[in-house]
Amino acid sequence: MSIRLAGQKKRLDKTNVRAILYVMTKGKETKKVILEAGLDMASQLGLEGVSIGALAKETDMSKSGLFAHFQSKENLQIEILDYAARVFSEDVIIPALATEGGIPRIKALINNWIKWGDNLTGGCIFVTASTDYSDRPGKVRECLIKQQEDWIDCLRRIAESAIKVGDFREGIDCEQFAFDLYSLLLGFHLYDKLLDDTETRKRQEIALERLLANYK
């Protein structure tokens, strides 16, 4: 086996190929560790509180090493959001879609979302980032808007699936359902993370049952 590197005529033997692949793999692993730390930091401090310098200190890495991965604070913030979206899909959306359609799927989605927030020190990063970037134009805000539009669309499609299985009545406004459910999640985040209300989970369950009853 041989590999020709761009701009080089020299062909590499198997030993060199393995060495290159090892370095590439280690680089990906290092970047994942950085993004995991950045995700948790952003959940606490907001995306604006995450910088290459702050993250270098948190991960005990050099600023130059982190800069080589991301080149700028903006790129770092966008990559943290992209990483968060991948984890969110794996931990929240995909397991819920594997659940029975209709109301069981909606409840699974909510439970997964709560667990997702609990696994982050400061709760859901998308909620905190939405506050930071609600009126701040730029690429980070554009990335965040696209992610939240996808999430809202997911909520709308789950409502449509609930109609198909007969859990929701025909003719409901699925966009309104997405709005109502999203509002419930935002309320949960406020009561749980800011107010530290010990009754938050109970209140959420009552609110969800009332919401679902409105669409049956």
Q: Where are the alpha helices (DSSP H) in 165-199?
A: 174-189
d(CA 66, CA 72): 9
Examine residue 57 and state whether it is found in any structural domain, yes or no.
Answer: yes
pLDDT at 7: 45
Tokens of 32: 């994942």
Which residue type, as a one-letter code, is found at position 187? G
What confidence score (pLDDT) does residue 60 get? 83
Q: Is residue 4 part of a domain?
A: no
Instruction: Please name the residues in contact with 92: beta carbons below 8 A apart, sequence gap of 6 or more.
Output: 109, 112, 113, 116
Q: Is residue 9 a part of any domain in this protein?
A: no
Token output for 199: 């009754």
**pTM, 2 dp:** 0.79
Structure tokens at 90: 């794996």
pLDDT at 27: 56
Q: 10-residue block means of pLDDT along the chain (216 residues)?
A: 42 40 53 86 86 83 79 88 94 93 94 90 85 85 93 95 95 96 92 88 94 95
The total number of structural domains in the chain stands at 1
**pLDDT at residue 127, as a whole number:** 86
Helices (H), the chain: 14-45, 52-59, 63-70, 73-88, 94-97, 103-118, 125-132, 139-164, 174-189, 200-215
Domain that holds residue 58: 14-215
Three-state DSSP class for 90?
helix
Domain contains 126: yes
The token duo for 147 is 């992610």
Contact present, 78 and 140 (Cβ < 8 Å): yes
Residue with token string 């992209």: 82
1 part of a folded domain: no
Residue 74 lies in a domain: yes
CATH number, position 47: 1.10.357.10
